[in-house]
Amino acid sequence: MFRLDEKIWFWTLLVIPVIILLFILLQIWRRSAQKKFADSSLLRRLSPNQSIFKSILKVLVLCGAFGCLSLALVNPKIGTKLETVRSQGVDIVFAVDVSKSMLAEDIAPNRLEKSKQLVREIINSLASDRVGIIAYAGKAFPQLPITTDYASAKMFLQNMNTDMLSSQGTAIHEAIQLAKTYYDDEEQTNRILIIISDGEDHEGDAVDVAEEAQEEGIRILTIGVGDEKGGPIPIKRNGIILNYKKDRNGETVITRLNETTLKEIAEETDGLYVNGSNTSEVVDTIKDVLDKMDKKEFESKQIADFKDQFQWFLGLGILLLFIDIFFLERKTEWLKKLNLFNENF
């Protein structure tokens, strides 16, 4: 297993096509200038040792040197040891509402982006807990199974949007039902489901399903995003608002935060409701709940040690630079014998 520390340095590889382009332009200019000086047969007599093959080879060596130096700046690392780590924590499943109502901008920048920020900050506050992610709208979709890989969790979280599910609406009960399948230990008692939503529930039976979840030992924490005054749902193209979503009568739809439903779901499972307007307060509240819970011991395998490999690319790059410096462009005897370009000497 390997990883790259400084991927931004890959941009330095753009030097290579620039070198090749400059070489081609130089050759075109040189041939044009030589034709003005003398014809081709006379030039071959005046400079019999000039080799286009070695000129090309010299440029390729220089490009290889820059390629190696760029890789050295990126600093690839190889995992040298895989070990099993025993840790204690809580299994936490995040159910994120990705329905169109989450595009409302009554909380900056909009409800969905605020939800993603809340989940990201909660994950950042965790130590050894396992996390999973569910996306839901009219249906629920497993986004990430239970894992301790927080980097992957945040990557999947970042890619969530309101177009990922074709079935629109808000069916919180679907997310709760799916969350039941995430916990892999029947004896486990520290199961947490965190629902992040504006509280709209088009099916209306989320509280009943929450009661079933409570019987299976799942404690539901709900986070409300949005404003009770509500706001319209913008329709955008390339970041520009073209219009607002309208109902069948042509009236602009106003979506509002429904805290009542979220509170009822949380209360049904001895959970907790938190308003998501203040990120730090949400993180502190969730962390306080998790700290008071019993921890489950589980095993997780991870790469424990990564070693730098930049020195190999740096050494090879410097070697190629030295070869390029001392590499002569004129023909050598063995090259003349090969006669790669069918030249007459």
pLDDT of residue 303: 56
Statement: residue 250 has pLDDT above 80: yes
Statement: residue 333 has pLDDT above 60: no
- Do 345 and 336 form a contact (C-beta atoms < 8 A)? yes
Of 299 and 221, the structure prediction assigns the larger pLDDT to 221
pLDDT category at 345 given cuts 50, 70, 90 is very low
pLDDT of residue 342: 53
pLDDT above 90 as % of the chain: 33
pLDDT of residue 197: 93
Euclidean distance between CA atoms 284 and 37, whole angstroms: 80
Statement: residue 174 has pLDDT above 70: yes
Q: Which domains does the chain have, with CATH numbers?
A: 2-75+309-338 (no CATH), 84-300 (3.40.50.410)
pLDDT of residue 324: 81
Of 54 and 111, the structure prediction assigns the larger pLDDT to 111
pTM: 0.63
**Cα angle 312-316-318, degrees, rounded to a multiple of 5:** 120
pLDDT per position as a tens digit, 119-132: 999 999 998 888 99
Of 324 and 123, the structure prediction assigns the larger pLDDT to 123
Mean pLDDT, to the nearest integer, of 164-173?
78
Statement: residue 262 has pLDDT above 90: yes
Q: 270: helix, coil or strand?
A: coil
What count of Cα atoms within 13 Å lies in the side-chain half-sphere of residue 116?
19
At residue 85, what are phi and psi to the nearest 5 degrees? -110, 125
Report the candidate in 19, 14, 4 with the shortest Cα–Cα distance to residue 321: 19
Taking each helix axis from N to C end, the angle separating 206-215 and 259-268, rounded to the nearest 10 degrees, works out to: 20
pLDDT of residue 119: 96
Burial class (CB in 10 A: 0-12, 13-18, 19+), 143: buried
Euclidean distance between CA atoms 313 and 199, whole angstroms: 54
pLDDT per position as a tens digit, 287-298: 999 988 877 776
pLDDT category at 51 given cuts 50, 70, 90 is low
Mean pLDDT, to the nearest integer, of 89-102?
92
Which DSSP string do the residues of 109-147 spell out, in sequence order? S-HHHHHHHHHHHHHHT-SS-EEEEEEESSSEEEEEEEE
The CB density around residue 211, as the number of other CB atoms within 10 Å, is 13
Of 225 and 58, the structure prediction assigns the larger pLDDT to 225
pLDDT above 70 as % of the chain: 82
pLDDT of residue 208: 87
pLDDT category at 332 given cuts 50, 70, 90 is low
pLDDT of residue 307: 80
The one-letter amino acid at 340: L
Of 152 and 241, the structure prediction assigns the larger pLDDT to 152
What are the structure tokens assigned to 47, written together?
Answer: 């400079």
pLDDT of residue 283: 95
pLDDT of residue 338: 53
At residue 236, what are phi and psi to the nearest 5 degrees? -115, 155
pLDDT of residue 187: 63
The CB density around residue 178, as the number of other CB atoms within 10 Å, is 20
pLDDT of residue 28: 86
Euclidean distance between CA atoms 10 and 107, whole angstroms: 37
pLDDT of residue 266: 93
Mean pLDDT, to the nearest integer, of 73-82?
78
pLDDT category at 326 given cuts 50, 70, 90 is confident
What are the structure tokens assigned to 303, written together?
Answer: 């790469």
Statement: residue 330 has pLDDT above 60: no
